[in-house]
Structure 1
Amino acid sequence: MSSHEQALVSLLSQLALSLDGAVLGVALAYAAVRSLLKFTATSSSLRKIRKAPSLKVSDLRSILTVDDDSSEGQSHPSDQSIVVVRGTVEAKSAVDPNWKNFKPNVLVSQESGDKAVVIQRTQTCIYNEWKGVFGWTSDLRALFARSWREQESTSLRTVPFVLVEGYGWSPDFVVVNVDGSRHCLPLTTVYHQLQPINASPYTFLQALFGHEYPVGMLDEVKILPLGKDITAVGLCSVKNGIPEIKSCKDLPYFLSDMTKDQMIVDLAFRSKVLLWSGFALSSLSIGILGYAVVRNWSRWKEWRQHRQLQQHRQATSNDAASQIAAEEETGDVPDGELCVICLMRRRRSAFDPCGHLVCCQSCAISVERESTPKCPVCRQEIRKSLRIYDS
């Protein structure tokens, strides 16, 4: 572990354990709430997928009702239902002759030559981590800007595609609508290469002063190949007499390699993990927060008692000092018995160990509170003052 990582871990641990672990307890409570919310969403998705019928492409029309009075032959929004369809990826032009006249047939990967309907290319710029000669400032940047060391750009190309069942002159198919979907696609990596970047004079200056500079470009191409069997889970409807399926934002899957049974098993496992982790985190957070509350409450009570005791002592000392001053100031005091400091009150306190009786009680207390208390007559260091009473 590097020095800046150790500093970051130390800072986070001190922050988490502050206030007797109250910050850590709040963080665990937040994680528990997030876990339980995810469990609720996952359980809802599990129920929906369990209830969703698993159909063939040829059986989709039997569960969808089409509005015959509509000029476009579309189904009502209320008729849309969640279905699970297993089919083979094929370009729309393979089943719709009219579409060939306007769009290209398929996409072809330039690196491998494989034919596909979706091509995703990701380029990631990789930076170095050398501090350089004057690179002490890079440690500060690394604590707060470590994610900036990789700059990623992703481009996505797609053509309309369908899921077909069987091949022939008129195979049954369902159109896949990926517009507005943020679900991950079951893409296959066909090209993965790391290309070094040549250094320049400007790169040398960046390295000299500790600035990060690019050292390589990671190029990755993923495709959705033709002929791949995938499962589509989403809302199905009929448009222009053709079944169409689109993603449902409440479901974690849209296009996947898994079957319906595998999805159910995966979601059931996720829900159990989220549920028990939520219970564990919530129990741990309640214990830590309870401990922090008790500790801080005890500290507050101790501080309050200490504060009240200090106020009581201060009030008592002030009353005693005022009473002593009143007693000492009553009557006439001969010149030989006046305090050598204030020259107003009678000499009442003797210093230990010199034994000089030259100060009143108030001035003796002031001398005693000094950092290096000394007798005002012999300048000898004193340990304390003693109140002298007349018999």
Structure 2
Amino acid sequence: MSVHDQAAAAVLSHVALAADGAVLGVALAYVAVRSFLRFNSNSSALHKIREAPTLRVSDLRSVLTSSDVEDSSEQSDGGKLLIVRGTVEAKSAVDGNWKGLKPPNVLASHESGDRGVVLQRTQTCIYNEWRGFFGWTSDLRSLFARSWKEQESTSLRTVPFVLVESGRWPKSDYIIVNMDGSRHQLPLTTVYHQLQPVNASPYTFLQALFGHEYPVGLLDEEKILPLGKDITAVGICSLKEGIAEIKSCKDLPYFLSEMSKDQMVVELAFRTKVLLWSGIVLGALSVGILGYAVVRNWNRWKAWRQQRQIEQQDAAARAEDETLTAEETGDVPEGELCVICLLRRRRSAFIPCGHLVCCQRCALHVEREVAPKCPVCRQTIRSSVRIYDS
């Protein structure tokens, strides 16, 4: 573990254990609540996917009825949740927008030349860090600027595409894939992956000298959704102007995937169990830690309150001693002396026995004992009362 990681771990441990672990307990409770919320959403998604029928592209028209038609002037969320397995094809290849030997409207990789309907290009600048002569500044930045290690830029391009029946020609039956508003992960294929070193410059030398991060490489990647790839679409299917269309459902974790329905169900079931048990375990830990923190802080508060009362009683006793009259500090008859200190006059009577045998200061000391008892009759006492002469 590096120096930066050790410093970060020390700071986090001190924060987490603050207030006898109350901060850690609250953090665990937050994670447990998030786990239960995700468990609820995953359980709902698992139920929906289990109930959703799996169809081929050619069977869609027999399932979708006229009630699933969307009005072109007023968009609605009508439709049925279906799981469709098909092959990726450009929309221009099935609607007759290309003629002769002209290729359909597709995207081509800049480096490999592979064709697809989705093209994602990612450039990641990788940074290195050297402590340098003034490397102490990086210790501070490591706690607040760990995201500076990599800087990534991503561009995503798509063209309209459809899913067709695998191995059938002509492709008269197809379903349009509507990507609007979808943020689901796409089953892309990497066609280009190369790490290129970055040439050093005088500015790079200054960055390294003062302990700053400096670029050492540029990772260039290209991913596509290729033509002819078999994928599964999970979403809301409807008829729009007589043509089947599928769009993503925000309540489901899948939209376009390489997995089959059975594989999705298995993965979601496993994820649901993990979230459930993690929520239970983290919730139990948070309750235990918070309970321990509450008990510890409550005991500390009671001890502080008791100490405060003792200090106030001592102050009152000292003030009382300072105002003793000459009669109490002078010659006191032997029968009226305190049986404990034998210096001051008897002024406090014990309750409930009622014996007047101690001065006020000694009576307070007797009360603070673990098992206070009257020094005469050895009966357990509850408190004492100051007796004043009329």
How many residues matched? 327
Aligned to 2:332: none
Cα offset, 1:29, TM superposition: 0.8
Question: Following the alignment from structure 1 to structure 2, what is the Cα–Cα distance between the partners of residues 141 and 257?
Answer: 41
| Residue type of the alignment partner of 1:26 | V
| 1:123–1:320 distance in 2 versus 1, CA, 3 Å | same
User: Quick one: structure 1 residues 38 and 158, their matched pair in 2 at CA, closer, same or farther if it must change by over 3 Å?
Assistant: same
- 2:127 is matched with 127
In 1: Cα distance, 2:93 partner to 2:55 partner: 22
**Any residues of structure 2 matched to 1:89-108 within 5 Å, and which?**
89-98=88-97, 105-108=105-108
Query: Given the superposition, is the C-alpha separation of residues 70 and 237 from structure 1 closer, same or farther in structure 2, using an over 3 Å criterion?
Result: closer
2:82 touches 2:234 (CA, 8 Å); kept in 1? yes
Matches of 1:128 and 1:98 in 2, distance apart? 50
Tell me, in whole angstroms, the C-alpha distance in 1 between the residues paired with 2:328 and 2:139. 69
Match of 2:336 in 1: none
**Aligned-residue offset at 1:285:** 1.0
Residue in structure 2 matched with residue 83 of structure 1 by the alignment: 82
SS of 2:200's equivalent in the other structure is: coil
Contact 2:126 2:215 in 1 (8 A): yes
Compared CA separation, residues 239 and 136, structure 1 to 2 (3 A)? same
* Structure 1 pair 202–325 and aligned structure 2 pair: CA distance change class (3 A): farther
Q: Give the deviation of 1:201 after TM superposition.
A: 1.2
Give the C-alpha shift of residue 63 in structure 1.
2.1
- Residue deviations 1:272-330, cap 9 Å, x none? 111111111111111111111111111111110000000110111122123369999xx
Equivalent AA in structure 2 for residue 209 of structure 1? F
Structure 2 match to 1:279: 280
- Alpha-carbon offset, residue 130 of structure 1: 0.5
Structure-2 residue corresponding to 1:10: 10
Change (3 A) 1:266 1:68: closer
What residue is the counterpart of 1:48 in the other structure?
Answer: 48
Deviation at 1:240, TM superposition (A): 1.6
Query: 1:161: which partner in 2?
Result: 161
Contact 2:196-2:218 at 8 Å conserved across structures: yes
Name the SS of the counterpart of 2:43 in structure 1. helix
* Match in the other structure for 1:32: 32
The answer as to whether partners of 1:92 and 1:99 remain within 8 angstroms in 2 is: no
CA distance in 2 between partners of 1:24 and 1:142 (Å)? 22
Say if 1:187 and 1:222, in contact at 8 Å, map to a contact too: yes
The 1-side partners of 2:17 and 2:301 are apart by 18
Query: 1:325 & 1:308 partners in 2: Cα distance?
Result: 29
CA contact (8 A) 2:117 2:161 kept: yes
C-alpha distance after superposition, 1:157-183 (max 9, x if no partner):
111111000431243110001111100
- 8 Å contact kept, 2:187–2:225: yes
- The 1:125–1:326 alpha-carbon spacing in structure 2 relative to 1, beyond 3 Å, is farther
Hey, which bits of structure 1, 4+ residues long, moved more than 6 A?
A: 67-71, 99-103, 324-328
Equivalences for residues 330-369 of structure 1 within 5 A: none
Does structure 1 conserve the Cα–Cα contact (< 8 Å) formed by 2:230 and 2:258?
A: yes
Q: Provide the residue aligned with 1:186 in structure 2.
A: 187
Shift of the alpha carbon at 1:270? 0.7
What corresponds to 2:248 in structure 1?
247
CA distance in 2, matches of 1:325, 1:198: 96
Output the CA distance in 1 between the equivalents of 2:103 and 2:79. Answer: 29
Instruction: Percent identity, please.
Output: 70
Distance 1:268 1:68 in 2: 30
1:210 and 1:176 map into 2 onto residues whose CA distance is 50
SS of structure 2 residue aligned to 1:28:
helix
Q: 1:317 to 1:97 in 2, by over 3 A?
A: same
Residue aligning to 1:221: 222
- SS, match of residue 97 in structure 1: coil
1:308 partnered with 2:274: no
**Counterpart code for 1:265:** V
SS class of match (1:111): coil
Partner of 2:298: 297
Question: Match for 1:37: what amino acid?
Answer: L
Q: Which residue of 1 aligns with 2:340?
A: none
TM-score, normalised on structure 2? 0.79
Aligned-pair CA distance for 1:9: 0.6
Tell me which moved more, 198-207 or 91-100: 91-100
| Deviates most, 228-237 or 100-109 | 100-109
Cα distance in structure 2, aligned partners of 1:122 and 1:324: 93
- The Cα RMSD (Å) is 2.5
CA offset digits 1:11-37 (Å, max 9, x no partner): 111111121111111111111101000
Q: Is the 8 A contact 2:70 2:76 kept in 1?
A: no
Task: Note closer, same or farther for the CA distance 1:56–1:326 as it changes in structure 2 (3 Å cut).
Answer: farther
Q: Which 5+ residue runs of structure 1 have no aligned equivalent?
A: 329-391
Structure 1 range deviating more: 75-84 or 193-202: 75-84
Q: Distance in 2 between matches of 1:113 and 1:136?
A: 48
